[in-house]
Structure 1
Amino acid sequence: MNAPTPSVPGLPTDLSGRIVVVAGGGSVAPGWSIGRAACLTYARLGAQVCVLDRDHASAQETVRLIHEEGGQACAYEADMAVETDIAQCFADIHGRFGQVDVLHHNVGIGKTGGPMETSAEDLDRIHAVNVKSLMLSCQQVLPGMVQRRSGAILSIASVAGISYVGYPHLAYSTTKAAVIQMTRMIAQQYAPYGIRANTVVPGLIDTPRVAANVAHMFSQNLDEAKEARARQVPLNRMGTAWEVAQACAFLASDAASYITGTELLVDGGLTGKYA
């Protein structure tokens, strides 16, 4: 006699009632950054989204877009390299909402160049923004998550943190590698408390940051630079911020309830191509 087929529940990606903090929820230029797309995605799934960004006007723009769709969001100004800024934002969030269910750390800056083009000051500044801010943010949310024995932490790294991407990007690459390892360690330490921590690793994504900071490494013509980047990818195109945001929403939700301490590549096959 055949065993009965177990019922398979639908993916529980509903985030209604969750408080989601997105550090880096604005955009360096008009358009859809990963952080901004993630904020709207979380709001569409029912979450209350707290948008943190160094550029308060950009955070407010993200909130405006969420409110236009009937979602819930609020904006906070914070330089994520400054401990007092982070502490004040989270104090306000905890005072207003009582808890943080999901921390999405979307912060990242860089400077192209190798060891001879990167000063000690460059490396310190980029490390403070990309790595130290993740630790400081986790310090703000982990006590409450431990108390409730639940919570999800998402960090956004980059394929540059695990592979050479065709041009020297020393400080960005090494700090994103550190983000991956820090997230792994948090996942292991806090798994007994029901807290999950994972890293999303985007590949070559078409975002305002690419146009502003990276495209010139391929060509002075933006369209040519985008075409050159697309040719590197097995899927023959760059990804979109929305494709990364959907991966983040999955890991933030109960659909990923048994996933922790790992990396989700959203790279169109790029990493496998050079493995």
Structure 2
Amino acid sequence: MPQPENYNATLAGKVAIVTGAGTEGDGIGIGRAIAVVLAGEGARVCLVDLNAERAEDTRKHIEAMGGEAFVAAGDVTQRDDCARFVAETVSRYGRLDILVNNVGVATPVALDAADEAAWTRVLNINLTSAMLMSRYSVPEMSKNGGGSIINISSIAGIRAHGSIAYGPSKAAMAALARELTVLYGRQGIRANTVAPGHVLTPLAQSLLPAEMRVKRRNVGPLGIEGDAWDVAHAVRYLASDEARFITGVHLPVDGGVTEIGPMAAHALIESGQE
């Protein structure tokens, strides 16, 4: 899917924070695509990233299309940094309506690589960061009648992925959203989870050989790859007032991969569909 050219101002007047909003190089990762689409729809966006230069590239992208954003560099696993991101956003823009917990890492793979430090790092970056950002965002959202929290999980949190820490951390992100739904719904807070799968990002492109990309396409019911814009559009909808009655949802954006059984997948692969 190409970058959107037309927007409908569905988020005009709203303020958003997107963590992991940078992308290495000129590619479009999920965090950058989300930030660009939210800004295109009229939201003012705080771009959180550990690497300020990556987030600056996203800011330039947004400003070139007429949007408004600023960079807040820091570590989402640190309580003080998370509090600062929220405080700076409210100080600059006067409110907070949308939080997208997107930042994440995907190691270690096997038990013999998962010492306590590696395990803790994955859970801290993927899960604890979402809890901390939500902790400081909920009170500010509540002041304005509510808001939308969207956790970017993965289909690895729905089906086994072959990574001992990544899958559990992503499954827990969906559980966190459900708890937020129940605990803060009466304050107008909606919390949902988007689970990308078989999405071609710059990172995936650098890691996957061409034959593996063909296999990924063939195993899915639609027979195509997703991209970061597909994820961003799902986030845009959940962030908007159009989704005012939707909370606690775990939405796969995966071309139907999580709905297909082993025999059906085998049949698709054997059929030789490209």
Partner Cα separation in structure 1 for residue 44 and residue 125 of structure 2: 25
Listed as ranges, the gaps of 5+ residues in structure 1 are: 1-11, 216-221
Aligned residues: CA RMSD:
1.5
- How do 1:150-189 and structure 2 match up within 5 A? 150-165=146-161, 168-189=162-183
What per-residue deviation string (whole Å, max 9, x for no partner) do you get for residues 25-81 of structure 1? Answer: 111443111110111101111110111111110100001001111111111112111
The answer as to whether partners of 2:108 and 2:119 remain within 8 angstroms in 1 is no
1:13, 1:250 within 8 Å by CA — same for their partners in 2?
Answer: no
Give the aligned partner of residue 202 of structure 1.
196
- Using the size of structure 1 for normalisation, the TM-score is 0.89
What's the CA shift string for 1:72-126, capped at 9, x where partnerless?
Answer: 1111112111222222222211211222100011011011522223221111011
5+ residue gaps, structure 2: 1-7, 263-274
Q: Structure 1 stretches (4+) deviating beyond 3 angstroms?
A: none
CA distance in 2, matches of 1:268, 1:130: 23
Q: Deviations for 1:194-253, whole angstroms, at most 9, x for unmatched residues?
A: 1100001111100012134x52xxxxxx22232222222211122010011000000000
Q: Which residue of 2 aligns with 1:230?
A: 217
> In the alignment, residue 33 of structure 2 is paired with which amino acid?
A
Deviates more, 1:85-94 or 1:119-128: 85-94
Of 138-147 and 15-24, deviating more is 138-147
Distance 1:201 1:13, change over 3 A: farther
Q: Give the 3-state SS of the residue equivalent to 2:221 in structure 1.
A: coil
AA in 1 matched with 2:177: T
Matches of 2:142 and 2:80 in 1, distance apart? 23
1:248 aligns with 2:242: no
Indicate which of 141, 144, 148 corresponds to 2:140.
144
On the 8 A contact 2:9/2:42 being kept in 1, the answer is: no
How far has the Cα of 1:21 moved from its partner?
Answer: 0.6
> Structure 2 residue aligned with 1:59, among 55, 59, 64?
55
2:106–2:163 Cα contact (<8 Å) kept: yes
2:245 pairs, out of 255, 258, 261, with 258
| Aligned residues of 1:43 and 1:66 also touching (Cα < 8 A) | yes
Alignment of 1:1-275 (within 5 A): 14-165=10-161, 168-212=162-206, 214-215=207-208, 222-274=209-261
8 Å contact from structure 1 (residues 13, 254) kept in 2: no
- TM-score of the two chains, using structure 2 as the length reference: 0.89
CA distance in 2, matches of 1:250, 1:237: 22
